[in-house]
Chain A
Amino acid sequence: MNIPQLIPVGDPSAETFTINLGPQHPATHGVLRVKLEMDGEFIVNAQPVPGYIHRMHEKMGENRTYAQYLPNTSRIDYLSAMTYTHAFVGAVEKAAKIEVPLRAEYIRVITSELNRISSHLVGWGAWIMDLGGFTPILYAFDDREKILDLLEAITGSRLTYCYYRFGGVCDDVDQTFIDGCKAFVPYMRERMKMYKKLVTGNIIFRKRVEGIGPISAEMCRKYGACGPVLRGSGVNYDVRKAEPYSIYNQFDFDIPVYQECDSLARYLVRMDEIEQSLRIIEQACAKIPEGPFQGKVPRILKLPVGDTCFATECGRGRLLVRITSDGKEEAYRIRLRTPCFTNLSLFEEASQGMMLADAISLMASLDLVIPDIDR
């Protein structure tokens, strides 16, 4: 029998190979491709290649009126559509100096925070599914269903809400909705206790996230990271506190900050944020005033010439909308600075030298929504 002899080619330890993660990989949460240069199980370089579902939302903003563009905003990050619509209507209201009635602001805060919880629940479930635990996502979707039912009753849609309007919201909420929110808060608190037992204290989960994927505060600053990624790196920054919009400065809530900079810190920030959102909903439901839900808005909306910036804190971080108007019915330019774009941009540096399975944990901890990157 003739056994071919192995001929060594170069230095095997210095040999790397390139593989593709995605674009159709479940762990990338959508159509994202990552070009991985691997040395065995270790990542030499990981270069994300976005753009597979690029839709040019910014150009669409230039050839439709402000009202026509409104539904677009909820389709950028489909998991936190409310906050995205909020950023756009906020920018237009700021430029056109449209007054928003107080009741509408309360409705916006309640729906935004409900949306944030549902967004975190999906991120939570999907993350643990990436790490191999299938059960939690079923619990998460069960609870999320309660939120979707509440929001569906007032908005008519389950995912891509186009509920906010310039100067208010499109329809008033009824007492059933307020009561539903009031009942949801204690229900969710009980569930959070169960989640803590089920996942947070789970040794298999902790081994996969503790000390994995360190992102320093300095790296966050250089890359403009935002949201739970930033707060998991010990930076106390939340747009709701730093650039208070709507009526967030009237509520008593904390910004969860963890100093550990690892995936677990980002996980804990999200879990604490659910609790803080519940606190805001509780307060808002208790003192929501009666009154109109829609302010006075000119029939043909034209913004004064110039730039306006408006930022909101979305489920994944800071969304900045910059509208440049030349006085016409359409915007001259709409710039959307989305949180996942900047959060993913640090992945290349942060993942160097990691094992591939850990990089998946790091990527899941960024809580990516791909349409948000590609726009």
Chain B
Amino acid sequence: MSSSIEQLAKEFAPLAVKEMVQLPPALVPKPAPAPKPAAAPAAAKPAAVPADPSVVGRVIPNPPSVAPTPAPKPAVAAAPKPAPAPAAPPPPPPKPVQIWKFEDKGLHLEVTVEPANVVAAAEIMDRHGFAIDAVTGMDWPTQGLLEVIYDFLHFQTGERVAYRARIARNDPKIATISKVFPGADWHERETHDFFGINFVGHRDLSPFMLPDDATYHPLLKDFKA
């Protein structure tokens, strides 16, 4: 990993959250046992232990109980032999400032920042000459959270950095970064459309992709058409 990524990681460290909620993995155990009791857990369970690591050749932690169903097929098909070895040490939980291998994630650096720090983080990106790639949202109804994800790329070095901020689902408010990156204007407006996140200080949050009279937010998980 290039030194500039480590430098960036250091600069991001004060902005990052102290306590990291493991979002995608934390989500799974809750819905997994509840909605599908009849999804043949008996057949899947025994295979789960050897199979899980074969799926998990990656950095994101995947608790052993997490994915019982994907287990059997890859285990037989891909690699039953190397499976037991990595099974023992569970992968470490992602840190608030996480340096990834690009080949695994398509990202070099991922940071979870405090929601109050998104503008400061955008300024770091601006100072280092990064270009804005995208801003988008993510809905985590079980945890009562909404997530805003900011993607950046560097034209000269090809580095990819993403940072995310998590806000309460019942009062989704976050500062706009469109003053730093005017390109975020449209992305934020679209995110407001789809998730109802209120970007404080944004010049115009009227419906963008949706019809002018839209009052719904279709990418929320509880949206019913």
Interface residues of A (CB under 8 A from B): 50-51, 54, 56, 58-59, 62, 91, 94-95, 97, 220-225, 230, 235-237, 241-243, 296, 298-300, 302, 304-311, 318, 320, 322, 324-327, 332-333, 335, 337, 341-342, 345-346, 349, 374-375
Contact = CB atoms under 8 A, between A and B. Distances in A.
Interface of B: 24-25, 27-28, 32, 55-60, 62, 66-67, 69-70, 73-74, 77-78, 102-107, 110, 129-134, 136, 138-139, 149, 151, 153, 155-156, 158, 160, 162, 181-183, 185-186, 194, 207-211, 218-219
A349 B55 contact: no
Contact of A299 (B55, B73, B103, B194): B73
Contacts of B139: 333
Contacts of A308: 105-106
6 contacts: A50-B209, A97-B58, A307-B24, A309-B162, A322-B136, A335-B149
A221 B131 CA distance: 4
Nearest to A335: B136
Given A298-B77, A305-B28, A374 B60 contact: no
B24 to A, nearest CB: 5
A235 B208 CA distance: 30
B181 A327 contact: no
Given A51-B208, A322-B151, A335-B136, A298 B24 contact: no
B210 A327 contact: no
Contacts of A243: 102, 106, 158, 160
Contact of B67 (A237, A304, A318, A346): A304
Nearest to B31: A326
A326 B27 contact: yes
B130, B131, B156, B194: most-surrounded residue (chain A CB, <10 A): B131
Given A237-B155, A332-B24, A374-B209, A309 B107 contact: yes
Contact of B106 (A56, A94, A327): A94
B70 A224 contact: no
Nearest to A307: B105
Contacts of A327: 28, 32, 62, 66-67, 69-70
B60 A305 contact: yes
B186 A305 contact: no
Contact of A224 (B132, B136, B149): B132
Contact of B210 (A54, A225, A235): A54
A311 B162 CA distance: 14
A326 B140 CA distance: 11
A346 B208 CA distance: 16
B131 A325 contact: no
Nearest to A333: B138
A223 B107 CA distance: 20
A374 B194 CA distance: 13
Contact of A56 (B27, B107, B185, B218): B218
B151 A222 contact: no
B66 A51 contact: no
A97 B107 contact: no
B77 A221 contact: no
A237, A306, A324: most-surrounded residue (chain B CB, <10 A): A306
A241 B185 CA distance: 28
Nearest to A53: B209
Contacts of A326: 24, 27-28
A207 B55 CA distance: 58
A349 B182 contact: yes
A351 B104 CA distance: 40
Given A50-B209, A243-B160, A302-B67, A337 B24 contact: no
A221 B56 CA distance: 36
Contact of B182 (A94, A223, A296): A223
B97 to A, nearest CB: 16
B194 A58 contact: yes
Nearest to A297: B77
A341 B186 contact: yes
A342 B153 CA distance: 13
B75 to A, nearest CB: 10
Contact of B70 (A56, A94, A235, A302): A302
Contacts of A304: 55-56, 58, 60, 62, 67, 70
A374 B160 CA distance: 25
Nearest to A349: B182
B24 A342 contact: no
A302 B210 CA distance: 31
